[in-house]
Structure 1
Amino acid sequence: MTLQELRERQSWSLEQKIDHSLGTIEAFVSRMGGVDKVYVAFSGGKDSTVLLDLCHKVYPNILAVFCNTGNEYPDIVRFVRQKIAAGENIQIIRPKMTPREVWAKYGFPLVSKESSEHIHDIRINPQSKTARRKLTGDFSLPIKWRYLIYEPYDTTHYCCKILKKNPSHDYQKQSGRFQIIGTMASESQLREKSYIRYGGCNVFGKRPTSRPLSIWCDEDIWTYIRRFDISIADIYYKGAKRTGCMGCGFGAQFTGDPRFRTLLREYPKCYDMVMNYTNNGVTFREALRKVLAVNKLYLPDEQPPTLFDEFNTKAI
């Protein structure tokens, strides 16, 4: 598989992508030994909702598994429970630790998974070859985030592993089932490289996995939702662009990212809860405030007034 081949597939029509995904699902289920040997990793987000709908086209009662991390938007949990109440075959699993416990023990999820891993490795053993590579290599930690190495709190990339990946791996071991997931190569360079390296949507080996949406793009997901009138979680209509963990700091430093504005507006108690998580006596609010300040941004409840605000006040 090459990047050019991936780009060609990403340029297919939605009809071609649907056919490809259905074929991918059927091939994986057959290879694994039947529908009782697989499950759909269902996050409650729009991508996995489309994936589940595709799977239902060929296996109407296929099992879906939702991991309730304790850091999900209330809309997501409500959406999943509505599907269960409607008779869909969904099982709920949970991690062994709460988000509060993970952040207290391992640190805050800040900047990105890659950067937080670099920070962690440098802090653990600053004289190691790994640390030097992550400070001077081609993919080294950006200079503007190096202050995090010396902060009194820890920065972690362990959140996803402990809250999402570990429960899924434990479930697979206990159930003997293999997962079908809704990741897309277009979401990141890492997933793009993974698709090319494994040569397609189905991965067979030590840990078989099916990724039927690999060649889809975000616009395909929305087109599918509109064309087939698919119900999705309400949080998408309240301003959320993505529905990962509601308190995650990865990517929050980008201008225009709405996650914490949305969380504060829709669920102020959840916002306050997340902001008061601590590590080494420091709150997430304090740590996130400094990250945002690097790009001259503010937390939504700390945004200083502007001339536009003053104009609106006078108009009222």
Structure 2
Amino acid sequence: MTTDILKERQAWTLAQKVDHALATIDVFISRMGGIDKVYCSFSGGKDSTVLLHLCRVLYPDILAVFCSTGNEYPEIIQFVREQAKKGANIQVIRPEITPRQVWAKYGFPLVGKETAQKVHKVRFNPNTVTASIIMGTGFFCLAKKWRYLLTEPYETSSQCCDILKKRPFHKFEKITGRSPIIGVMADESDLRKGQYIKAGGCNVFGEKAASRPLSIWTEADVWQYIEEQRLDIAEIYHKGAARTGCMGCGFGAQFADDRRFSILLDNHPKAYDMVMNYTNNGVTFREALRKALAVNGRYLPDEEPKNLFTSPSC
């Protein structure tokens, strides 16, 4: 598998990609020994909604597994319940601890996963070769504007996803012996692109078997499929949300076009206040996020300086 081959496949028509995804799912389930040996990872977001629809075209009774972390938009929870009422075979799993406990113990999710990992490595192992590389000037260094995080009284962490999502799914897989069908796309990041190329395609077999039927799809493909198939999606998308991951996640919130906290404040002010009051080492998430946003000249939605062009929650 090469980058050029991936680009060629990403340029296919949606009809070609649908056929490819269905074949990918069918081959994976057949190789794994039937639908009792697999599950569809279902987050309630648009991508996994498309994935579950594709899986159910071939296998209407396939098991979908939703991890309720306690950090989802209420609209996502409601959507998952609605799909179950309509006949989807959905099992709910949960992490062992709450988001509040994760942030208190491990730190806040700020800036981005890679940045958080670098901050953690330097803070806890400052005298290693890895730390010296991170603090250098090369490609893998920690950007200077985020180095203030190294001396903050609170910790910065990328542990949220692992503890709240990955661990519950891994536990489920170990107990049931099922392997996942996942709705990730290579188009989402360089990391996902590299994983697809390294895997050599959408299906991976062996000890860590997994299927990623949407790997060659793009965001535009997902929306086109939703429109063509007239699929219901979670209401939060109609309220302005571009993505529906954890509602309180700070990863990427510093970018100028990100409105996640404005949307959260507008639609769920109590949840917004709850997240802002999570603490680590006696510091609130509000305080930590405020400082991270300020680096890029941004403000929390309820702290934005007022002017003639400012909407109530911008």
When the two structures are superposed, what TM-score results if normalisation uses the length of structure 1? 0.97
2:142 equivalent to 1:141: yes
Residues 169-180 of structure 1 correspond to what in structure 2 (within 5 A)?
Answer: 169-180=170-181
Secondary structure class of the residue paired with 1:80: helix
Quick one: distance in 2 between partners of 1:132 and 1:113?
19
**Can you list the C-alpha shifts for 1:85-126, whole angstroms capped at 9, x where unaligned?**
222100000000100000000000001110000000100011
Tell me, in whole angstroms, the C-alpha distance in 2 between the residues paired with 1:94 and 1:43.
Answer: 12
- CA RMSD after TM alignment: 1.1
Aligned equivalent of 2:101: 101
Deviations 1:249-274 (A, max 9, x none): 00000001010000000000000000
| Residue number in structure 1 paired with 2:58 | 58
- The residue number in structure 2 matching 1:235 is 236
Counterpart for residue 302 of structure 2: 301
Return the offset for 1:309.
Answer: 4.7
**Aligned ranges 1:91-170 → 2 under 5 Å:** 91-136=91-136, 137-170=138-171
Deviation of residue 132 (structure 1)?
A: 1.0
2:50 aligned counterpart, secondary structure = helix
How many angstroms apart in 2 are the aligned matches of 1:184 and 1:238? Answer: 24
Summarize the alignment of residues 27-106 of structure 1 with structure 2, pairs less than 5 Å apart. 27-106=27-106
In 1, the alpha carbon distance for the partners of 2:269 and 2:289 equals 17
Aligned length: 311
Counterparts of 1:48 and 1:180, CA distance in 2: 10
Does 2:224 align with 1:223? yes
- Structure 1 runs of 4+ aligned residues shifted over 2 Å read 307-310
Secondary structure of 2:91 counterpart: strand
Distance between the aligned counterparts of 1:81 and 1:95, measured in 2? 19
**1:7 aligned onto 2:20:** no
Give 1:129 shift.
1.1
Instruction: For 1:180 and 1:205, locate their aligned partners in 2 and report how far apart those are by CA, in whole Å.
Output: 14
Q: Which amino acid letter does the alignment assign opposite residue 265 of structure 2?
A: L
Whichever residue aligns with residue 127 of structure 1, its letter is N
**Which range is displaced more, 204-213 or 156-165?**
204-213
Q: Distance in 2 between matches of 1:99 and 1:105?
A: 10
Deviates more, 1:134-143 or 1:267-276: 134-143
- Equivalent runs, 1:191-210 vs 2, <5 Å: 191-210=192-211
Counterpart CA distance in 1 for 2:15 and 2:258 is 32
- Report the identity percentage: 63
Amino acid at match of 1:184: M
- Give the secondary-structure state (helix, strand or coil) at the position aligned to 1:308: coil
Q: Distance in 2 between matches of 1:20 and 1:142?
A: 40
* Matched residue SS, 1:186: helix
Q: Distance in 1 between matches of 2:114 and 2:73?
A: 24
The CA distance in 1 between the partners of 2:308 and 2:31, in whole Å, is 63
5+ residue gaps in structure 2?
none
Please list the CA deviations of residues 156-215 of structure 1 after superposition, one character each: whole Å capped at 9, or x if unmatched. Answer: 010000000000000000011000000000000100011111110001232101000000
Gaps of 5+ in 1: none
- 1:115-147 CA distances to partner (integer Å, 9 max, x unpaired)? 000000100011111211222242111111010
Within 1, Cα distance between the matches of 2:207 and 2:118? 27
Q: Deviations over 1:189-248 (max 9, x none)?
A: 100011111110001232101000000000000000000100000000001000000000
